[in-house]
A and B are shown apart, each in its own frame.
Chain A
């Protein structure tokens, strides 16, 4: 085999050296640059000076010298923008450093690596998106489940409500028909006393069922208002003892009927009066006592009122059959009722409303315990002490004041519905008042200015001119006597609108005779 001629070898070497743009540095044992050759400027190494420290002239050599064996640094990027493979070779005299151009190879590798990295980043972003989509999908599934449950609850509620509404209505319609028959019998003069007794019973039943129906409607409306955030608390000076006495009066007959022992107790440290929303507090305790009596067949129902750390604590205990464990978890959720009690009246709103009201008052309502021996509910609300020097007139004194007041006063009653107008006229005349009637807002306005009654009762929804406009017109014409608005709406915003129009009080229909007369008396005495 023939060898390559020396001239050819030299030619190849020269070509290779030229392609590699080889640059050579010689460094002594002290780290000083001894000599150099090649193309240092290609690697950004300008102004090389022999005899000076090489690390100050070639920064990337910092920390490398001296080397004990050959080291290769690949793809070292230089200030000039080129890339070099740097070979560090130990010699007897120090270190030889070879820089060989790797720019083209660097650029090829960069292209490939760039693509790979970008693909990797894309894959990562994709997996993250998939993860987010999956989380969103799960959230939607949960939401759908929740909505379906709500929808099912509402459907059951509507079915239940329909039953609850029809039941008292059936009684009302039925007993009213019986009343018509009694009336016919009376025309034939049969047994008067028995007929009167029957009529009284029928009327009592009609009234009870109508009251129950009203309570049901109020509950549904209240729940709606709570859900919409429209309930506004109204704190007032509340006599706690009086409240408990009234509760005793209300629930004693029902407890007696079931042979239950009704125990109502106020501990000694409870303040006489508190500044609290009495109406809502009463509503909550009535709900709890109502349930306790409803679901207890023997034993007792107990209400205890305590005062601790500026909080009013009320505890209702019964000896009923208790609440099933799975129901306990959702006892305060609207429309929830256990299957065992579905035969008893109610739509599952009482506890939900009570819970929300107590929460609105900044307090807490909890089921302390429940077993087959009974249940205990406890609520607590922060309250401030109220002024105790308010005069408490006896009921007789109030009645006397009413009678005394009523003898001299004239009331203008504006109501477009004939039956309601007749009923209210009867109430007011029974209370000793003289009554002038109007059938619409325009007539009410004219009669009020003509006769200057002492007080006006104004229905808000009337033809020709509604109550709001009639009130505004009267106030604009300097009619200064008290005006009470009458409305079928229990919404706060309607009450606000009526007060803005200029009325002094607002009563919701149907109004109990006592409430109507005491409101009239109060305004006339102011």
Chain B
């Protein structure tokens, strides 16, 4: 069975840890506890096409730019997930910036961008046009909510398939 390393990258308090918790343990907590360094979780995934893959999830401390520590964590990643807090526009800018830096560091690895906190629609700050323009460039962008679970399974499944097909 294959093992694939995925790194969760994004600004602080966008929901990286909550997404991992939802995906691995189907759990969610409203309490915010900042991540220091990196937390590692694993999950065995059964894909729709019958394939199986063990995902090693690296939940990396939030930052708007690629630090030395973050760069060290990226080594050996088969793919990565960029996470944006849909209620804070600056986190979108961080994600775009991080994607460029990670791409320079890791090379052309598959990734998906998650617009998290989709349950907070009345506070949304990410315009449709912004999203459409990046989707038109071939980016996979998924609306997720670690709180309700919407889009979470799809996001990890999609990235898994992209990694296996690379």
- Chain A residues with CB under 8 Å of chain B are 55-56, 59-60, 62-64, 71-79, 83, 106, 109-110, 113-114, 117-118, 120-121, 124
Contacts and interface: CB of A to CB of B under 8 A. Distances in A.
9 contacts: A56-B3, A63-B5, A73-B73, A75-B38, A77-B39, A77-B40, A109-B36, A117-B13, A117-B32
A64 B75 contact: yes
Interface string B36-70: 11111010000000000000101001100000010
A83 B35 CA distance: 11
Contacts of A120: 12
A73 B77 contact: no
A72 B40 CA distance: 16
A33 to B, nearest CB: 16
A89 to B, nearest CB: 15
Contacts of A79: 40
A62 B56 contact: yes
A62 B42 CA distance: 11
A64 B90 CA distance: 32
A121 B77 contact: no
A281 B34 CA distance: 71
B130 interface: no
A71 B72 contact: yes
A437 B73 CA distance: 104
Given A76-B40, A117-B13, A117-B34, A60 B56 contact: yes
B38 A76 contact: yes
A109 B13 CA distance: 16
Nearest to A67: B75
Nearest to A63: B76
Classify the secondary structure of B's interface with A.
loop
B37 A55 contact: no
Interface of B: 3, 5, 12-13, 32-40, 42, 56, 58, 61-62, 69, 72-73, 75-78, 88, 90
Contact of A73 (B36, B72, B88): B72
Nearest to A124: B88
A83 B38 CA distance: 9
A72 B32 CA distance: 28
- Interface-centre pick from B34, B37, B75, B88 (highest chain A CB count, 10 A): B37
Contacts of B37: 74-77, 83, 106
Contacts of B77: 63
A-B complex: 3 closest residue pairs judged by Cβ atoms? A63-B76, A75-B37, A77-B39
- Interface-centre pick from A60, A62, A75, A113 (highest chain B CB count, 10 A): A62
Nearest to A102: B37
Contact of B33 (A78, A109, A114): A114
B36 A83 contact: yes
Contacts of B40: 59-60, 76-79
Contact of B3 (A59, A75, A83, A124): A59
Contacts of B72: 71-74
A114 B31 CA distance: 12
A83 B56 CA distance: 17
Contacts of B58: 60
Contacts of A124: 88, 90
Nearest to A71: B72
A78 B38 CA distance: 9
A117 B76 contact: no
Given A60-B40, A62-B3, A62-B5, A114 B34 contact: yes
Contacts of A118: 32
Nearest to A106: B36
A77 to B, nearest CB: 4
A71 B58 CA distance: 17
A8 to B, nearest CB: 34
A65 to B, nearest CB: 9
Contacts of A64: 75-76
Contacts of B3: 55-56, 59, 62
Given A73-B72, A117-B13, A59 B34 contact: no
Nearest to B91: A124
A121 B39 CA distance: 22
Contacts of B56: 59-60, 62
Contacts of A117: 12-13, 32, 34, 62
Nearest to B40: A60
B34 A73 contact: no
A75 B72 CA distance: 12
A170 B32 CA distance: 80
Contacts of B36: 75, 83, 106, 109-110, 113
A77 B40 CA distance: 6
Given A110-B36, A114-B34, A124-B88, A59 B13 contact: no
Contacts of B42: 59
Contacts of B62: 117
A125 to B, nearest CB: 9
A424 B26 CA distance: 87
Nearest to B33: A114
